[in-house]
């Protein structure tokens, strides 16, 4: 597939302004050579205005000249200068198309259920939601709470799988601690070690015994 954005309009311009062959133009524009011939004959793209590929940075004058000198020369698309400009890292929350914004509460619910270890700040940055939305989904006070269903953000088209995996990996240590605490709570306090159990000490015997006489025993019956 050609990298030319408007192949037919570009072909019109090349036919009008160069001596390139139909095959060269067809190859460069990603068209069939018979279609290029049809454009030249006026049967295809009639009254279409040509687009200058030189002005658009698609091809250089030197490359066209090389093609005009050699009919077998295959035209090459000019390397974009934009590719060499380092793109700044995105700051703040992600922009989400309007059509996808209604899906954000479902993604938040998915994080709350399956990955509670992921900080709210990371969720906000990943799917472009807000702290208020996360809190409303968490405490079920969201206006659409009855219809919210946990769906992963990749399926909803809110982020890529690589971005999701990266966020989850960053919170892996916190997840292990949470799982360990949960396991400890489920096992209960358990039995105390033997060395911690106080030894049984019998009550001391009386140091003396009363001398009870027969008169003392039958006194209450009188």
Does residue 74 lie within any of the structural domains?
Answer: yes
**According to the model, what pLDDT value does residue 204 have?**
54
Based on the fold, state whether residues 103 and 162 are members of the same structural domain: yes
Does residue 70 lie within any of the structural domains?
Answer: yes
**DSSP character for 163?**
H
Domain end marker among 45, 80, 115: 80
Does residue 92 lie within any of the structural domains?
Answer: no
User: Alpha helices of the chain — where are they, by DSSP H?
Assistant: 7-17, 22-29, 33-41, 61-69, 98-101, 104-114, 120-127, 131-138, 161-170, 172-187, 214-218
Based on the fold, state whether residues 24 and 58 are members of the same structural domain: yes
Element (H, E) at 13: helix 7-17
Based on the fold, state whether residues 19 and 76 are members of the same structural domain: yes
Which two structure tokens, joined as six digits, stand for 184? Answer: 């400890």
Q: Is the pLDDT of residue 100 over 80?
A: no
Based on the fold, state whether residues 12 and 76 are members of the same structural domain: yes
Q: Is the pLDDT of residue 96 over 60?
A: no
**According to the model, what pLDDT value does residue 207 have?**
46
Based on the fold, state whether residues 110 and 74 are members of the same structural domain: no
Q: Is the pLDDT of residue 116 over 80?
A: yes
Q: Is the pLDDT of residue 81 over 70?
A: no
Based on the fold, state whether residues 71 and 32 are members of the same structural domain: yes
For 114-135, what is the mean pLDDT?
91
Q: Is the pLDDT of residue 41 over 80?
A: yes
**According to the model, what pLDDT value does residue 103 have?**
86
Answer with the residue of higher pLDDT: 171 or 5: 171
Answer with the residue of higher pLDDT: 75 or 185: 75
**According to the model, what pLDDT value does residue 171 have?**
85
Does residue 184 lie within any of the structural domains?
Answer: no
28 vs 15: CA distance, rounded Å: 12
Based on the fold, state whether residues 161 and 111 are members of the same structural domain: yes
Based on the fold, state whether residues 71 and 105 are members of the same structural domain: no
**According to the model, what pLDDT value does residue 201 have?**
55
Answer with the residue of higher pLDDT: 92 or 74: 74
Q: In this predicted model, what pLDDT tens digit does every residue of 150-200 receive, in sequence order?
A: 999 988 888 888 898 898 888 888 878 877 787 777 766 555 555 555 555
Element (H, E) at 162: helix 161-170
Answer with the residue of higher pLDDT: 34 or 210: 34
Does residue 141 lie within any of the structural domains?
Answer: yes
Give the residue numbers spanning the domain of 134: 98-173
Based on the fold, state whether residues 48 and 112 are members of the same structural domain: no
Does residue 221 lie within any of the structural domains?
Answer: no
Based on the fold, state whether residues 102 and 76 are members of the same structural domain: no
For 83-112, what is the mean pLDDT?
67
Does residue 203 lie within any of the structural domains?
Answer: no
Does residue 35 lie within any of the structural domains?
Answer: yes
State how many domains the chain has: 2
Based on the fold, state whether residues 26 and 75 are members of the same structural domain: yes
Based on the fold, state whether residues 43 and 75 are members of the same structural domain: yes
């Amino acid at each position: 597939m050609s990298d030319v954005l408007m192949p037919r309009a570009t072909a019109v311009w090349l036919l009008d302004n160069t001596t390139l062959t139909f095959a060269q133009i067809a190859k460069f524009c990603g068209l069939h050579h018979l279609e290029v011939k049809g454009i030249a004959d006026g049967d295809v793209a009639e009254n279409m205005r040509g687009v200058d590929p030189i002005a658009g940075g698609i091809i250089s004058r030197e490359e066209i000249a090389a093609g005009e000198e050699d009919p077998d020369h295959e035209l090459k698309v000019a390397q974009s200068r934009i590719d060499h400009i380092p793109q700044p890292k995105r700051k703040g929350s992600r922009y989400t198309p309007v059509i996808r914004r209604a899906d954000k509460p479902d993604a938040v619910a998915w994080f709350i259920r399956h990955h509670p270890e992921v900080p709210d700040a990371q969720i906000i940055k990943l799917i472009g939601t807000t702290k208020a939305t996360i809190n409303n989904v968490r405490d079920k006070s969201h206006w659409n709470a009855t219809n919210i269903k946990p769906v992963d953000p990749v399926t909803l088209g809110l982020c890529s799988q690589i971005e999701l995996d990266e966020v989850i990996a960053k919170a892996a240590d916190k997840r292990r601690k949470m799982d360990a605490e949960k396991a400890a709570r489920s096992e209960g306090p358990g039995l105390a070690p033997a060395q911690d159990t106080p030894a049984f000490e019998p009550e001391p015997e009386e140091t003396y015994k009363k001398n009870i006489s027969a008169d003392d025993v039958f006194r209450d019956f009188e």
